[in-house]
Amino acid sequence: MKTLNLFIVVAFCIAFFACSAEKTSNGTGSNAGEAEMAITFSAPSGLPLVSAKVRVWNLDSDSLSLEDSLVTDKNGSVTFDSLLSGYKLVDANSGDSLFVMKLLNFGDSLPKILVAGLPELLKGKILKSGAPLAGAVVRVLDKSSVTDSDGSFEFAALPAGTHFVYIASASSVNSFQMQTSDSTNVAEFSDTVYTLVENFENWNMHTLLGKVWGGGWWFMSSDSILGGGSSVSPGFTDTANTIISEGAYSGKSLFARLVVDSAFTGGKFALVGFTLGGDFDEAVDNYRFDLSSLVAVSFMAKGSGIANLQMVRRDSTGAKEYHNVPFNLSSEWSKYRIESANFDALMTDVNAFNFMADSTAEIYLDDIRLEGIAPVDWINLGTK
């Protein structure tokens, strides 16, 4: 009888630990609440990323905090806790060989598959009032570094893509979005928070802020769609190099020649612009943005002629509104700062900003910022 009881106890223990091990390998993390949101991670070859470490990060204004840690099963899958909500940063790595990272909204349906790739380098240089900021602590995911005397820092073996980077100096912390690549990210440590729209160092027609979750496209337009003769050159192409000029404010800049047909009477214009998220006409998620907290749009520019910073939004009926603030271009690089109040309109339901001319102009653009909005706050401002 004792032998039988011992056998039952041993069998129960084996079954219990087997069940526990199965939960861990399925990546249910804390296992608090019902798990129902699954993602499969794969290698570029299509094979599952087995036993990869998956982490869920909570985005705060001054740091990233680890919310959960999971391990993929034999199929490369994890199942997230259903109590997770809002935007979280999810990364996965298989040793030191394959990495992947994605900003996910746990309030929406999650992607079924994320494909990992080779690690990449993230390089940056931090300035304050135009001078290098030395000795600042830089944090990316669970890694940290300290800026050198020239304000530079470097991280190896990071997931490819756009990272949230936190930089602490003295008693304040700034957050930035920076991209992995061979190019150096340049950021200005400031007393005023801002989200960098684009610095064109690794431009692929997405804005930098759009690369975090998709959308944010640059585009060009003119009155030719209305029968006019205006045009924009050079045109955007898949290689994008035709629109980028070397040796500008921070290495590269966008250049556009806005040729306006002065004889056209149907509302002449030529412009380059960017959507904050999806296009108005597509009406996808994150295509209207509440920019009530926007203080100003600032940018570096030079050129010739008069251009307008044009804000595009929807009114209460759903129709598009265009609000223009003019500025004069000069042959030397200058910083322009246009306060949101100058648009004389509600800063809700905003979709795009354009650099528009109604008479011929040439413009170089760089270092475009949304002042008053931190990168970690930006991701919560978009609606459908």
Residues of the chain with CATH 2.60.120.430: 218-383
The region, left, alpha or beta by phi > 0 then psi within -120 to 50, assigned to residue 29 is left
The owner of tokens 């928070």 is 193
Q: Please compute, for residue 248, the number of CA atoms within 13 A of its CA located in the half-sphere on the CB side.
A: 23
Tell the burial category of 129 from Cβ atoms under 10 Å away from its Cβ (0-12, 13-18, 19+).
exposed
Mean of the per-residue pLDDT values for the chain? Answer: 86
The owner of tokens 């349906």 is 109
Q: Quickly name the fold that domain 120-191 has.
A: Immunoglobulin-like (2.60.40)
Residue 317 near residue 256 (C-beta atoms within 8 A): no
Going from the C-alpha of 233 to that of each of 215, 254, 286, 336, 342, the distances in angstroms are: 23, 11, 29, 23, 29
The beta-strand segments (E) located in 231-287 are 231-233, 244-248, 251-259, 270-275
Homologous superfamily of 23-115: Carboxypeptidase-like, regulatory domain (2.60.40.1120)
Question: Which overall architecture, per CATH, does domain 218-383 show?
Answer: Sandwich (2.60)
Question: Sorting pLDDT into bands at 50, 70 and 90, what band is 182?
Answer: confident
Spatial distance between the Cα atoms of 168 and 175, rounded to a whole number of angstroms = 9
Residues of the chain with CATH 2.60.40.1120: 23-115
Q: What pLDDT, on the 0 to 100 scale, is given for residue 269?
A: 97
> Cis peptide leading into 234, omega within 30 of 0?
yes
Spatial distance between the Cα atoms of 76 and 89, rounded to a whole number of angstroms = 18
**Digit-coded pLDDT (tens) for 293-335:** 999 999 999 999 999 999 999 998 889 999 999 999 999 999 9
Residues of the chain with CATH 2.60.40.10: 120-191
**Digit-coded pLDDT (tens) for 193-226:** 999 999 888 888 889 888 887 788 999 999 999 9
User: Which range among 59-68, 115-124, 137-146 shows the weakest confidence by mean pLDDT?
Assistant: 59-68
Residue in 337, 341, 342, 354 with CA at minimum distance from that of residue 301: 337
User: Which range among 123-137, 170-184, 235-249 shows the weakest confidence by mean pLDDT?
Assistant: 235-249
φ, ψ of residue 318 in degrees (nearest 5): 95, 0
The beta-strand segments (E) located in 43-141 are 53-59, 64-71, 77-81, 87-94, 98-105, 113-115, 120-128, 131-132, 137-140
User: In 27-38, which positions are buried (b, 16+ CB within 10 angstroms) versus exposed (e)?
Assistant: bbbeeeeebeee
Residues in contact with 8: Cβ distance below 8 Å, sequence separation at least 6, in sequence order: none
**Digit-coded pLDDT (tens) for 263-294:** 999 999 999 999 998 776 665 667 889 999 99
172 pairs with which residues across the strands? 169
